[in-house]
């Protein structure tokens, strides 16, 4: 998509070497090389890592001998991996990595909705470890990091998209005006009522709003769908960015950042992890400065709701203790995301099926966005492209429907 909008030369990868740490009860341990989201693709680094004791490694190895565990019913990732690999892998690896992405514990998250490959691995190979090692051997060598961004930030992609749309005759936009309800008239056209009182009539509607917002829009006409939409829980998170003089660190920070793998609630960090943005992405901060971004997950909701100065103070203490900062930051920024992070809990795919059934007689209403089939940027783009293709096809614009990428 970036290339389509003329941003190909602005695409950049992370700086090398890509070193990520896990913070385990105050100690920084490098993430073993060759780790997938939860499973090793290379045996050597997993055997040598200090992240696990030898009994814990042997417990994970027991997976090779265990029979299949999943049946047709969905299950939490935590329960499944604890059975196959043991509690240490959950607490020190899987929960920081996967829970960090979704802002909540993997004890809630669905195997089938979040990591369906685990079911595939067990179905095909019985052992998750053996399946992962096999996939590692088949993977192309030297591919580098899959992470990409734009030199000017991902906001450039949104700006380019808007520029592209605004150049098209007939394009209209409404900014700063909330949508109140979506209904259909007697001829089947969609009617979107705005808070200003304006009503927009359209042939097709794409609802790219979070599931709870979509529920509010359609509950007057489709209450059953609204109930199922509200059953998709959403977490609150915040991102705090801190800029420091390089001299604030007696020893320069190393690597791209860390994830919190500490156990127990006593003394636990408020953040699920930090990215040293100025190390991970070239040009993200002026020379002589260090930019650090801290992620506050759902478990820190009480802190996130406090005034900015209290949140900043907690994050500053955390960075001082973990990274050794001896000065106050020269820059502080916070972005709060209230009830906007979808949690694909056990039964998520069943909820999607209920929603689709409840909207079956509204084929010109299309759902898109992070609430349904993936929270990552590629997932959201794919979701939007599918909705756009269906919209254009329903309007008879088959040529454009084949070019929505």
Listed residue (138, 136, 118, 139) closest to 63, CA to CA: 118
Residue 77 has pLDDT above 70, yes or no: yes
What's the rounded Cα separation, in Å, for the pair 131 and 140?
16
Higher pLDDT, 4 or 288: 288
pTM of this prediction exceeds 0.85? yes
Structure tokens at 160: 């380019």
Residue-wise pLDDT for 24-76, tens only, equals 877 899 999 888 878 999 999 999 999 999 999 999 999 999 999 999 999 99
Listed residue (8, 86, 27) closest to 262, CA to CA: 27
- Beta-ladder partners of 149: 12
pLDDT band at 140 (very low <50, low <70, confident <90, very high): confident
User: Residue range 209-231: average pLDDT?
Assistant: 96
Q: What is the mean pLDDT of the chain?
A: 91
User: Residue range 280-288: average pLDDT?
Assistant: 93
Residues of the chain with pLDDT > 70, as a percent, come to: 96
User: Residue range 278-291: average pLDDT?
Assistant: 94
**Based on C-alpha coordinates, what's the Rg of the chain?**
23
* pLDDT score for 267: 54
Which residues, in sequence order, are CB contacts of 316 under 8 Å at separation 6+?
242, 325, 328, 329
* pLDDT score for 146: 78
Torsion of CA 303, 307, 309, 315, to 10 degrees: 20
pLDDT band at 404 (very low <50, low <70, confident <90, very high): low
SS3 content of the chain, % helix, strand, coil (to 5): 40, 20, 40
The helix (run of H) or strand (run of E) holding residue 54 is helix 54-61
Which residues, in sequence order, are CB contacts of 235 under 8 Å at separation 6+?
102, 103, 104, 297, 298, 301, 339, 341, 342, 343
Between strands 20-24 and 257-260, the pairing is parallel
Cis-peptide into 259, omega within 30 deg? no
* CA–CA distances in Å: residue 346 to residues 176, 265, 343: 35, 24, 9
- Domains of the chain with bracketed CATH: 1-17+145-173 (no CATH), 33-138 (1.10.3110.10), 174-232+344-401 (3.50.50.60), 234-342 (3.90.660.20)
Residue-wise pLDDT for 147-192, tens only, equals 889 999 999 999 999 999 999 888 899 989 999 999 999 888 999 9
pLDDT band at 266 (very low <50, low <70, confident <90, very high): very low
Residue 207 has pLDDT above 90, yes or no: yes
Residue-wise pLDDT for 353-368, tens only, equals 999 999 999 999 999 9
Residue 143 has pLDDT above 80, yes or no: no
Residues of the chain with pLDDT > 90, as a percent, come to: 76
Residue 263 has pLDDT above 80, yes or no: no
* pLDDT score for 395: 81
Structure tokens at 307: 């005034």
Residue 203 has pLDDT above 80, yes or no: yes
What's the rounded Cα separation, in Å, for the pair 12 and 149?
6
* pLDDT score for 136: 87
* pLDDT score for 401: 45
């Amino acid at each position: 998509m970036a290339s389509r909008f003329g941003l190909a030369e602005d695409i950049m990868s992370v700086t090398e070497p890509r070193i990520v740490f896990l913070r385990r009860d105050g100690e920084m341990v490098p993430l073993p090389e060759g780790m997938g989201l939860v499973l090793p693709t290379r045996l050597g680094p997993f055997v040598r890592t200090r992240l696990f004791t030898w009994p814990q490694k042997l417990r994970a190895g027991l997976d090779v001998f265990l029979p299949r565990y999943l049946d047709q019913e969905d299950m939490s990732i935590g329960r499944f991996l604890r059975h196959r690999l043991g509690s240490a892998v959950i607490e020190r690896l899987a929960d920081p990595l996967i829970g960090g992405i979704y802002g909540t514990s993997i004890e809630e998250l669905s195997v089938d909705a979040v990591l369906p490959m685990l079911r595939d691995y067990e179905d095909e190979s019985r052992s998750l470890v053996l399946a992962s090692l096999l996939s590692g051997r088949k993977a192309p060598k030297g591919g580098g990091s899959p992470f990409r961004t734009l030199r000017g930030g991902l906001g450039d992609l949104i700006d380019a998209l808007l520029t592209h749309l605004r150049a098209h005759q007939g394009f209209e936009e409404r900014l700063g005006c909330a949508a109140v309800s979506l209904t259909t008239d007697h001829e089947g056209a969609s009617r979107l009522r705005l808070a200003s009182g304006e009503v927009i009539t359209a042939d097709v509607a794409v609802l790219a709003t979070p599931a709870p917002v979509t529920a509010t829009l359609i509950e007057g006409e489709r209450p059953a769908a609204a109930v199922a939409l509200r059953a998709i829980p959403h977490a609150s998170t915040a991102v705090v960015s801190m800029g420091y003089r390089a001299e604030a660190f007696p020893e320069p920070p190393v690597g791209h950042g860390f994830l919190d793998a500490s156990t127990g609630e006593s003394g636990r960090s408020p953040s699920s992890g930090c990215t040293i943005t100025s190390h991970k992405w070239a040009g993200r901060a002026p020379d002589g400065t260090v930019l650090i971004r801290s992620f506050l997950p759902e478990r820190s909701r009480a802190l996130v709701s406090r005034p900015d100065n209290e949140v900043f103070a907690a994050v500053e203490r955390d960075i001082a203790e973990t990274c050794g900062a001896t000065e106050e930051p020269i820059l502080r920024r916070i972005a709060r995301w209230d009830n906007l992070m979808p949690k694909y809990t056990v039964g998520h795919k069943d909820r999607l099926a209920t929603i689709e059934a409840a909207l079956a007689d509204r084929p010109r209403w299309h759902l898109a966005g992070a609430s349904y089939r993936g929270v990552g940027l590629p997932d959201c783009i794919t979701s939007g492209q599918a909705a756009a293709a269906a919209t254009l096809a329903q309007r008879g614009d088959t040529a454009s429907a084949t070019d929505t990428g």
